[in-house]
Amino acid sequence: MTTVGVEEEYFLVDAATGRLSAYGEKVRAAAGLEQFVAAGEIQLELLQAQVEIATPVCHSLEEAGGHLLRLRHAVVEAAERFGCRILASGTSPMVHDAPVQVTDKARYKAMLRQAPQLVAEQMVNGMHVHVAVPSRQMGVEVLNRIRPWLPTLTAMGANSPLWDGDDTGFASWRTLVFDRWPVSGIPPYFADDADYDLRAQRLLATGVIADRGQLYWQGRLCERYPTVEIRCVDVQPRTDDAVLFAGLVRGLALTAMREASEGRTAPTPPAELLKAAMWQAARHGLSQELIDPEGRRCRAGDVVYQLLEHVEPALAEAGDARQVTALVHRLLQQGTGADRQRMAWARGGLPAVMDMLAEATVLP
């Protein structure tokens, strides 16, 4: 079975004041001392008020969910030792009354010199899903075929409506924040893996990006592992929210590999339509109409069901159909993370949002 892995980023906030807390290194070290946490599973991020986890390679969604819950609990318990809470939110909802220190790594310091204001405002957390591919050429085939579905995934995974103590009006403000980097957004269509590498090399040659890690496309080839990495989804409040996207992304990748093996031509929707579809997804999540992969304006639920129908054979093949379908239905009934943040906001303001996010982080 095609394997999958998940990376998630979280905020650290002071439990008493609710302010972002620069304890990332201490929390990472403390969590890493747990007997059930392996080396490399908990990592530092750009800002010291963030921490990142990475699951091992997983063969099933149950395995992925188990690792995510284990690592979330490890980080939460480590954070509590320093008077902190963990928030799984795509943006920082609290007021940003002081700059957050950049993690002491040469790469991050170079980014700060290059784009100081962007780094200062990079208070965003994503969820990255890795799916194994047999070759870089097949990885490019997968990217080309997943591109039209990235806005739908973004809408479903929207969990960043609040920023600097206020409602942005967007369901995924993280998407807009990340789109300001020089290489970002939906990736272009690539002729083959040589074309991918040539374009990457040309970007590096400009000096605008320092390494391939700064190819911030929402889908890209991973340089460390033989995987495709889909990066468009905000970090999710609950573990099983994350499991849903692991299942959908693997289903999309399996579907793409099957279509490529059958010699079917990959779709090439116009770049401007994809950009408009992504903006609409980030703006409204599932609360308004979406632009489907054909460029049509449709009810959000209908586009979600288009996606589910598209990947259904692959989900069945992987044994994921029942679980993913149930989680999709729950999402449509209960709303996205952005919807839940806004409901908490209406109920009790920022403290209620932070309580909801902290409690959801350790839920299955």
Domain boundaries along the sequence of the chain: 4-361
pTM to 2 decimals? 0.98
- Average pLDDT of the chain, as a whole number: 96
Task: Categorize the per-residue pLDDT at 36 as very low, low, confident or very high, splitting at 50, 70 and 90.
Answer: confident
Helix runs in 209-270, H state only: 239-261
Strand partners, 234: 126
Tokens representing 229?
Answer: 């990495």
Contact 311, 255 (CB under 8 A): yes
Q: HSE on the CB side for 282, CA within 13 Å?
A: 24
- Calpha distance 95→197 (Å, rounded): 41
Amino acid identity for residue 169 in this structure:
G
What pLDDT, in 10s, does the model give residues 134-165?
Answer: 999 999 999 999 999 999 999 999 999 999 99
- Nearest CA to 142 out of 259, 270, 289 is that of 259
Mean pLDDT of 181-202: 98
Three-state DSSP class for residue 230: strand
Residue 103 contacts residue 27 (beta carbons within 8 Å): no
Question: Residue 96: what pLDDT?
Answer: 84
When pLDDT is averaged across residues 72-96 and rounded to a whole number, the result is 95
> Is the pLDDT reported for residue 274 higher than 90?
yes
Mean pLDDT of 7-35: 92
Q: How confident is the model at residue 309 (pLDDT cuts 50, 70, 90)?
A: very high
Task: Give the pLDDT confidence score for residue 99 in this predicted structure.
Answer: 83
Tokens of 186: 């939906």
State the pLDDT confidence band at 254, using cuts at 50, 70 and 90.
very high
51, amino acid identity: V
DSSP class of 236: P
The pLDDT-based confidence of 283 (bands split at 50, 70, 90) is very high
**In sequence order, which ranges of 104-164 are alpha helices (DSSP H)?**
106-114, 116-120, 136-146, 150-156
Q: What mean pLDDT is predicted for residues 247-272? A: 97
Q: What is the pLDDT of residue 161?
A: 98
What is the Cα 103 distance to its own chain's centre? Answer: 21
Whether 33 has a pLDDT exceeding 80, the answer reads: no
Angle of helix 300-318 versus helix 321-334 axis, rounded to 10: 160
Rounded CA-CA distance 180/329 in Å is 33
Q: pLDDT, tens digit, for every residue of 208-252?
A: 999 999 999 999 999 999 999 999 999 999 999 999 999 999 999
Tell me the average pLDDT across 109-125: 93
Neighbours of 309 (CB within 10 A): 9
Look at residue 290 in the predicted model and tell me its pLDDT: 98
pLDDT at 364: 87
Look at phi and psi of residue 102 and say left if phi exceeds 0, alpha if psi is from -120 to 50, else beta: beta
pLDDT score at 136: 98
8-state DSSP, 297: E
CATH class of the domain whose range is 4-361? alpha beta
Tell me the mean pLDDT in the region 89-107. 90
Determine contact, residues 157/336, Cβ cutoff 8 Å: yes
